[in-house]
Amino acid sequence: MSLLGHVEVFLIGGKDMKKVDFLGKNDPYAIISYKTQDQKSKSLEGAGSDPVWKQKFYFEVDEDIADVVIRVFDEDRHTADDFIGETRIPLARVLEESEVPAQFYDLVRKSGRTHGQVEVALKFTPLEKRPVQQPGTHQNGQHSTKHHHIDGPYGDNNPGGWR
């Protein structure tokens, strides 16, 4: 498969997430997946039902297009982490439009019930327009995925938009 470019997934935050902790508030984190590439957001201790992550994740995209999957969990120290829900975002739309502005996606359980939402924005950069690589994006000549905390476009003092 030939590489088409990369997609940037901006995990902004969530709202109305079901409380799954027996005691205390949710400590949510997200696993963002594209095909075999998985990345984990930071865990937000005590964030409750409305977490704010403001993190950016990069994934390489080839000709075999798939969905971006975001699964949200509540981190537990002494027991298995609790699954809150997941959403699937079709990458085909992102490839067609280059950018999908921030919007909320339902977090759905296997039962079909919605247990909150995550706010996500996406941007696709074709290989020929790919920006200059930042340090650490290649290891031993191999492409790698990485993520960043963002304060810019979706920070508290900026109303939004891509920069």
Looking at residue 130, its pLDDT comes to: 53
Whole-model pTM? Answer: 0.79
5: nearest Cα among 130, 146, 141: 130
Q: Using one digit for the tens of pLDDT, what is the confidence trace for 42-83?
A: 999 989 899 999 999 999 999 999 999 999 999 988 889 999
What was the pLDDT predicted at 159? 44
> Left, alpha or beta for 55 (phi > 0: left; psi -120 to 50: alpha)?
beta
CATH top-level class of 3-127: mainly beta
Residue 23 confidence class, pLDDT cut points 50, 70, 90? confident
Per-residue pLDDT tens over the stretch 86-140? 999 999 999 999 999 999 999 999 899 999 999 999 999 998 765 555 544 444 4
Which pLDDT does position 77 carry in this prediction? 85
Residue spans of the domains in the chain: they are 3-127
